[in-house]
């Protein structure tokens, strides 16, 4: 199963050149823990954003998600990518088993905020959202802004707690 998953990830990240499907032909029903740390996800890059979204939204039994961000972009992120999550149709997605999501090296880039918004809206059993902020990029004001914005997002789970922590390398 793990091999299936890793090959899938590599297939997506390496070979798909902008033609990533929004849905997989079959769901990843066995996947309980999605650990995407170390894969250098750059949410300002379409292929990375779409593959992360594809994995999450194709895993209906997922309980835990861990993801680490690593934006090494030098060029500006296009408006199309910034608004990508808004323009996808995820009305069919529910993450009925998701309890914990941990996101490392977070900053307030719109696509990252939208990703959290999507997770909060789709996860009725969610207990904990742990956001590890990159302090080199986000100062105390940025931190407050992120929290203020996040607590306004509609939540499918009344018990979902958002905690903001420091990301230490």
Ligand X SMILES: *[C@@H]1O[C@H](CO)[C@@H](O)[C@H](O)[C@H]1NC(C)=O
Residue closer to ligand X, measured from CB, 35 or 70: 70
Residue where the block lists tokens 């997605």: 93
What is the footprint of ligand X within residues 81-120 (CB under 6 A)? 105, 107
Residue closer to ligand X, measured from CB, 49 or 121: 49
What is the footprint of ligand X within residues 5-24 (CB under 6 A)? none
Three-state SS annotation for 91-115: CCCCCCCCCEEEEEEECCCHHHHHH
Residue among 72, 32, 77 nearest 55 (CA):
32
Residue closer to ligand X, measured from CB, 19 or 168: 168
Task: For residue 86, give the H/E element and its range.
Answer: helix 84-87
Nearest approach, Cβ of residue 17 and ligand X (Å): 24
Is residue 37 within the footprint of ligand X (CB under 6 A)?
no
Distance from C-alpha of 42 to C-alpha of 153, rounded to nearest angstrom? 23
Residue closer to ligand X, measured from CB, 53 or 133: 133
Using CB under 6 A as the criterion, which residues of the chain lie in contact with ligand X when the complex forms?
68-72, 105, 107, 134, 137, 169
């Amino acid at each position: 199963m793990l091999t299936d998953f890793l090959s899938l990830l590599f297939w997506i990240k390496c070979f798909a050149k902008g033609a990533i499907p929004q849905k997989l032909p079959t769901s990843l029903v066995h996947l309980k823990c999605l650990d995407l740390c170390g894969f250098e996800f750059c949410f300002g890059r379409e292929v990375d954003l779409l593959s992360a979204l594809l994995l999450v939204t194709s895993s209906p039994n997922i309980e835990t998600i861990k993801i680490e961000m690593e934006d090494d972009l030098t060029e500006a992120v296009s408006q199309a990518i910034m608004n990508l999550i808004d323009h996808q149709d995820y009305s069919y997605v529910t993450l009925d088993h998701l309890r914990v999501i941990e996101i490392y090296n977070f900053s307030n880039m719109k696509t990252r905020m939208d990703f959290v918004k999507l997770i909060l809206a789709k996860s009725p059993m969610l207990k904990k959202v742990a956001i590890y902020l990159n302090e080199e990029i986000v100062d105390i004001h940025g931190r407050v802004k992120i929290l203020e914005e996040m607590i306004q997002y509609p939540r499918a789970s009344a018990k979902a707690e958002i905690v903001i922590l420091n990301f230490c390398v």
